[in-house]
Structure 1
Amino acid sequence: MLLLGACAPQPGISDNQRREWGLQPIIGNFAPDRGEGGKYKLRERVFFSFTLSQPGYVTLVTMDSDSTTVVLERNVQLPAGRHTFPLATDRNAQGQATYLVVPPLGPSRFRLLYTSTPATNRELFRGKLSNEEFNRHTQAYLSEAPVRDVAETWMEAVQ
C-alpha cells in the first residue's frame, strides 16, 4: 500500500522544456481515474492510466505540499498500449497493491517519466525539491535515454 500526500499543482512541462529536454510524444492520456484535477476523499483508492506509443520504461513520481518527492514506481518495463498504475500484477501482503489518498488535503502533483532504456540514477527525486530542482532532477533522470518523454497530472484530496 502506498500513501499519497497533497501538494499545490505547478504548471506542467512547457513547450520550451519539451524542446530543451528532447522529449518525444510517447506518453498519452496520463490522468487519475477521475480525470485530471479529480477529487478523492481521504483513504480512497486512486489509479493512474496512460498510454505508451512504444515500449519502454516508466517512472511515476509525486511531489508533496512540503516539496518532498516520492517515487511511486521506478523503471517499470511496459509494452506499447494502455496501462494503469498500480499494475494489476503489483501485489503486497494484502493482495492488490493500491495508492491511498492521505492528508494533507489539497491538490497533488504527479509526473510520469518515459525512457527507452532503463534509467540508472537512483539518487534522484529524494528529499525536498523546489519546482526548479524537480525539473533539474527530471532532466537528469531522462538524460541517458535516447528516447524520452514526460507527462504531468494532478488530483485533489478532499474531506
Structure 2
Amino acid sequence: MRFLLVLLAGFLSACTVTLEGLTLTYRLGYGPAILRFEPDRGAGATYFLGEEVRFLLTLAEPGWVSLVVQDPDGYTYELDRFHLERGTHVLPPGAYRYTTAPPPGLHRVRAVYTEGPPPMGVRLEGVYTGWDARLRLYLEASGARRYDVAETHFYVR
C-alpha cells in the first residue's frame, strides 16, 4: 500500500521516478495555455462606435487561437484565427484593425486555444442558446487533445 502511495505522489508531482534501476521521466501539462487575455483598455472598458479595439494575449506555449465574439443581440461570430508563438501578442497583428460596430452594449470575447489548427469547415457563427455546448462541438471537430478558453468583455456605446 505504501508503495502505491509513493508511486502516486511521484506521478502527481511531475518529476522523475526511479525504481531499482528503472527511470521514468514525464511531464504533465495541465496548466493554462492562455495566461492573459483582455482588450487593450482592460476588461470591461468602454469603446465608442467606430473605435479600434485590440486585444492583449499571452500564451504559455505555441498554438492556434480563434477569437470569437458574442454581441448584445446574442449573435456569435469568429473575428480571426491565428497561429501564435509562446509569449505576449497584440491582436490583430499588423495593419489589420477590429473596429467597433452596432449593436451597442456588452460584447463578450473568447480566445479559444488549440495545439493544432482549428477545423477548416467549422466556424462559430450564428445565434446559439447553448454557447458552451456549441464551443464543445467546435473543440471536438478540431480533434484537439489540448485546449484552453479565456473570456473577456467590453462595452460599445
Q: TM-score, normalised by structure 1?
A: 0.74
Match of 1:77 among 60, 83, 92: 83
CA offsets, 1:48-75, max 9 Å, x none? Answer: 111000000000000122221111012x
State the alpha-carbon separation in 2 of the partners of residues 112 and 24 from structure 1: 16
Count of residue pairs brought into register by the alignment: 126
Q: Residue 142 of structure 1: CA displacement?
A: 2.1
- Could you list the runs of 5+ residues in structure 2 that have no partner in the other structure? 1-29
Q: Residue 44 of structure 1: CA displacement?
A: 0.8
Q: Residue 81 of structure 1: CA displacement?
A: 0.3
Q: Residue 24 of structure 1: CA displacement?
A: 4.6
Aligned structure 1 segments of 4 or more residues deviating by more than 4 angstroms: none
State the alpha-carbon separation in 1 of the partners of residues 44 and 66 from structure 2: 20
Work out whether 1:68 is the aligned partner of 2:67. Answer: no
CA offsets, 1:21-47, max 9 Å, x none? Answer: xx7501022000010000111111110
Root-mean-square deviation (Å): 1.5
Asked if 2 retains the 8 angstrom alpha-carbon contact of 1:32 and 1:46, the reply is yes
Q: TM-score, normalised by structure 2?
A: 0.75
State the alpha-carbon separation in 2 of the partners of residues 45 and 107 from structure 1: 16
State the alpha-carbon separation in 2 of the partners of residues 114 and 24 from structure 1: 13
Secondary structure of the 1:118 match is: coil
Work out whether 1:25 is the aligned partner of 2:29. Answer: no
Question: What's the % identity of the aligned pairs?
Answer: 37
CA offsets, 1:72-113, max 9 Å, x none? Answer: 012x1111000111112xxxxxxx211111222211000100
- Could you list the runs of 5+ residues in structure 1 that have no partner in the other structure? 1-22, 89-95
Distance change (3 Å), C-alpha of 1:54 and 1:117:
same
Counting only pairs closer than 5 Å after superposition, residues 50-61 of structure 1 correspond to structure 2 as 50-61=57-68
Work out whether 1:49 is the aligned partner of 2:48. Answer: no
